[in-house]
Amino acid sequence: MKHVHDSLPPYVKVENGELWLTEDDRENLKISYRIKDIIFSEQSDFQHVMILDSYDFGRMLVLDGVVQTTSIDGHIYNEMISHVPLQFHPSAKKVLIIGGGDCGAAREVAKYKHIEEIHMVEIDEKVVLSCKAHLQEVSGNLSDPRVQFIYDDGVAFVKEHENEYDVIIIDSSDPVGPAEALFSRDFYANVRRALKDDGLMVCQSQSPIFHLDILRQTYTNIRELFPHVQVYTATVPTYPGGLWSFTIGSTKPLSLPETSTIPSDTKYVNEGILKQCFQLPQFLKKALEK
Ligand code: SAM
């Protein structure tokens, strides 16, 4: 394995002889992780891509200096963004994932035998290849023939598709750079068109603590386009604030099947989590009612 030691990548610094990654994309908050090793570090056409080995979170995918997923807590996010929507559509056959370059969501979706096609539209091939090679705790070295990797901008891709998908999962990075348009109303309108008549979509809608404005805007956009909208949350330790939100937009009422079809090998999602995750804290309920 090639270790990149000779010149330090951006965002990683030596402090008192130790390597530290500091996320400093926020004005008033910096989060630092002590790093054992730099496994991969390259600039792609879209962003700076790193796989780091950290002390507390194992291997992590870092894009433009921001932690996206880790070996220790990646399953929480990837299971929540996959299994929750799929429980509301137990006969889904065709699923589209937009973003999701770490392959964790595709890996979870592929656990459902009734799903025949999984299209993953990721803008940056380097993210997929580096995660398959160096972050298998998350990617699972996905080689399921039902998964088709399409390297394209998700915004352009959905414009070209109509009435095609049962479920669309928007597994995007933060709304800056190439992911910014993945939070726009126009994009969600095209997502709606790309869904079949009884389809549903889910997106990660950021931190209710630090990005309540983005969550509220996302909720409003989706509510204008879909008759049924629900927000749910999970705690993901490496995301700022811990508490993270997801928003579902559905063309039909959201009801859980009598018996869940959650795969037996999940690490986080179970029937209890499925029911509990829609119970929102009071401040969030009020913010969404406004
Ligand atoms: N779980 C992570 C989180 O919430 O921070 C994000 C998962 S995944 C790594 C996000 C992916 O979205 C990245 O690999 C990025 O390249 C991809 N992406 C960003 N903008 C995109 C776009 N316009 N179309 C397709 N993929 C995009």
- Domain shared by 56 and 86, yes or no: no
The pLDDT value given to residue 2: 43
pLDDT above 50 for 130: yes
Of the listed ranges 20-29, 101-110, 179-188, 196-205, the one predicted with least confidence: 20-29
How far is ligand 1, taken at its centre, from the CA of residue 101, in Å? 6
Q: Residue 220, SS3? A: helix
How far is ligand 1, taken at its centre, from the CA of residue 278, in Å? 24
Q: Residue 253, SS3? A: coil
The pLDDT value given to residue 250: 98
Mean per-residue pLDDT for 44-55? 98
Per residue in 200-238, pLDDT (tens digit) is 999 999 999 999 999 999 999 999 999 999 999 999 999
Our count of domains for the chain comes to: 2
Closest alpha carbon to 214 in 249, 176, 177? 176
Is there a contact between 149 and 122 (Cβ–Cβ < 8 Å)? Answer: yes
- Which tokens belong to 121? 């539209």
Specify if 122 maps to a domain.
yes
Residue 266 belongs to domain with CATH number: 3.40.50.150
- Pocket lining: 23 vs ligand 1, CB cutoff 6 Å: no
Q: 44, 67, 108, 122: which to mutate for ligand 1, most atoms within 8 A of CB?
A: 122
* Residue 56 annotated to the active site: no
The pLDDT value given to residue 27: 87
The pLDDT value given to residue 5: 54
Handedness of CA 195, 201, 206, 211 (dihedral sign): positive
Instruction: Quickly list H helices, 15-73.
Output: none
- Domain shared by 37 and 82, yes or no: no
Average pLDDT over the chain reads 95
How far is ligand 1, taken at its centre, from the CA of residue 129, in Å? 14
Residue 20 belongs to domain with CATH number: 2.30.140.10
- Domain shared by 62 and 162, yes or no: no
Which domain does 38 fall in, by range?
12-68
Specify if 146 maps to a domain.
yes
- Domain shared by 190 and 82, yes or no: yes
Q: How confident is the model at residue 6 (pLDDT cuts 50, 70, 90)?
A: low
- Pocket lining: 120 vs ligand 1, CB cutoff 6 Å: no
Q: Is 205 annotated as a binding residue?
A: no
60 sits in which H/E element: strand 58-63
Specify if 3 maps to a domain.
no
- Domain shared by 60 and 123, yes or no: no
Per residue in 144-156, pLDDT (tens digit) is 999 999 999 999 9
The pLDDT value given to residue 53: 98
- Domain shared by 59 and 177, yes or no: no
- Domain shared by 145 and 59, yes or no: no
Specify if 216 maps to a domain.
yes
How far apart (Å, rounded) are the C-alpha atoms in residues 192 and 205?
17
- Domain shared by 134 and 277, yes or no: yes
Ligand 1 atom at shortest distance from the alpha carbon of 46: 16
Choosing from 64, 73, 124, 171, which is the catalytic residue? 171
The pLDDT value given to residue 283: 98
- Domain shared by 55 and 173, yes or no: no
ipTM: 0.98
How far is ligand 1, taken at its centre, from the CA of residue 257, in Å? 30
